[in-house]
Amino acid sequence: MEEYAFFPGCIAKNVYPGIEKATRIVFEKLGIGLRDYEYSCCPPPGVLACYDKPSWLVMGARNLSQSEKDGLNPMTVCSGCYGTLHNVWYALKNDPDLMGFVNDHLGRIDAEYKGKVHPIHFVDILKNYKEKIAELKEIDLGLNVAVHYGCHYLKPSSVTGENSERPTLLDELVGLAGCKAVPFKDGLTCCGAGGGVMSGEPDVSLKIINTKLNNMKDANVDAIVNICSFCHMQFDQSQKKLKTTEIPVLHLNQLFGLAFGIRPKHLALHTHLVSTRDLEKKLKDLKKGGE
């Protein structure tokens, strides 16, 4: 069985448990094992890294070291967590002196990172299971969705290796659930949460997300589908503050859970601030129509 170390991150673990639950359900159905470790915060790539990079590197390396003894690559469900862990891995593997500095500090807690495991974003696993996902689909969801990658999955492209200007992976993946990724204005802009903007400049953060939400609204989408739990929180919580849109927010694993016939309750959709009831009713009618 293919297996990964599951790095849920703070948001999926503490704020949106439906993301963690959906991930475990979807990956179990795909026959992919997930093993748990004693992780800490990633920590955030746009906050701690800006004012205390040494601590950011050491904390990130400590997280990477947890599953190294078992040879399991840590898998993230948040583009922010991925950004930190991937950038730490990249920096250390290209700088032996920096690796030595980090391990000097890790040695104080009897830990060591050798660079033998590297982080992987969950979508980079799912893209290798397209046929299996299509086989498991019980409901053709038929939704028009706005897809959102999250900045740290795509950038910097020199590190991630992704096409940061014309990505197509999410269009393909939501298509497996019977959904259409609808283009909308400035589709690749930031959600406005990262870099400490949400906490340090909340008005600026809301202005950024409001523009993005209204662009999605103008495209008449049924839902927002994301691959980042931090962005997920921004989309869900900001709509309640702004009160200008009511677009349901789904993590990609929740979308696949619905397509696999999992009840919304078991994906914790009821815990979202933006109601998913109309969406659930539509899917219920689709399921009845297929019976």
Quick: pLDDT tens for 120-146: 999 999 999 999 999 999 999 999 999
pLDDT surpassing 60 at residue 288: no
Architecture of the domain delimited by 3-121: Up-down Bundle (1.20)
Round to whole Å and give the CA distance between 84 and 44.
6
Unique residue bearing structure tokens 């283009």: 183
DSSP element (H, E) containing 253: helix 252-259
pLDDT digits (tens, 9 = 90+) for 37-86: 999 999 988 778 888 999 999 999 999 999 999 999 999 999 999 999 99
Domain edges within the chain: 3-121, 138-290
Helices (H), 30-73: 48-51, 53-65
Confidence (pLDDT) at 49 = 81
Contact 16, 231 (CB under 8 A): no
Architecture of the domain delimited by 138-290: 3-Layer(aba) Sandwich (3.40)
Is the fold of 3-121 the same as that of 138-290?
A: no
